[in-house]
């Protein structure tokens, strides 16, 4: 349970575990339910690329997401993966939404084991492919 009193639905964790095992999803987007009492899965996709993922983030409302980010460090190196937790809070989202999502984030984040990086985004540049690549390859 979060500071805001919001609970995490059981399918949030089970869907995340499947993503970790690379079974069913490349990314998962989470949201608050209509009554703002529970965090639920909004959308997930197994075969979408990063641009499709970004297109699934709302332009004027908050969300959380987990993305199984694949990248290469350099020539000849194999592909690597890091699971990235994204807090999406665009500047033009309603203030109440930003406050509720901010105070509920820790409940969701604590439910996940195996997050490799975390990023906060208030606009699409902050969650761009390049921004994530920079975050996961920083020493």
pLDDT, tens only, 80-110 = 889 999 999 999 999 999 999 999 999 999 9
CA dist., res. 51 & res. 128, Å (int): 9
User: Does 2 map to a domain?
Assistant: no
Residue 90 CB neighbours (<10 A): 20
* Domain assignment of residue 55, yes or no: yes
pLDDT digits (tens, 9 = 90+) for 24-72: 789 999 999 999 999 999 999 988 889 999 999 999 999 999 999 988 8
Q: Domain for residue 1, yes or no?
A: no
CATH, residue 20? 3.40.20.10
Please give the pLDDT value at position 32.
Answer: 96
Q: How many domains does the chain have?
A: 1
4: confidence class by pLDDT, cuts 50, 70, 90: low
User: Is pTM, for the whole model, over 0.95?
Assistant: no
User: What average pLDDT score do residues 6-23 get?
Assistant: 91
Q: What is the mean pLDDT of residues 15-30?
A: 90
Q: Would you say residue 40 lies in a domain?
A: yes
Would 126 be classed as within a structural domain? yes
Residue 66 CB partners (closer than 8 Å, separation 6+): 16, 19, 27, 28, 30, 83, 84, 85, 86, 112, 115
Asked if residue 87 belongs to a domain, the reply is: yes
DSSP state of 127: G
Q: Taking 60 as the threshold, does the pLDDT of residue 2 lie above it?
A: no
Is pLDDT at 22 greater than 70 in this prediction?
yes
12 in a domain, yes or no?
yes
Does the structure show a pLDDT above 90 at 79? no
Domain extent for 86: 7-137
- More reliable by pLDDT, 24 or 130: 130
């Amino acid at each position: 349970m979060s500071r805001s009193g919001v609970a995490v639905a059981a399918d949030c964790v089970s869907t995340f575990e499947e993503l970790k095992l690379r079974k069913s999803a490349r990314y998962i987007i989470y949201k608050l339910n209509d009554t703002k009492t529970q965090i639920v899965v909004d959308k997930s996709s197994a075969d979408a690329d990063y641009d499709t993922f970004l297109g699934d983030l709302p332009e004027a409302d908050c969300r959380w997401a987990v993305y199984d980010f694949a990248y290469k460090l350099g020539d000849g190196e194999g592909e690597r993966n890091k699971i990235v937790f994204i807090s999406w809070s665009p500047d033009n989202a309603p203030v109440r939404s930003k406050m509720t999502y901010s105070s509920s984030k820790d409940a969701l984040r604590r439910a996940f084991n195996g997050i490799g990086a975390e990023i906060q985004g208030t606009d699409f540049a902050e969650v761009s492919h390049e921004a994530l690549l920079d975050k996961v390859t920083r020493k």
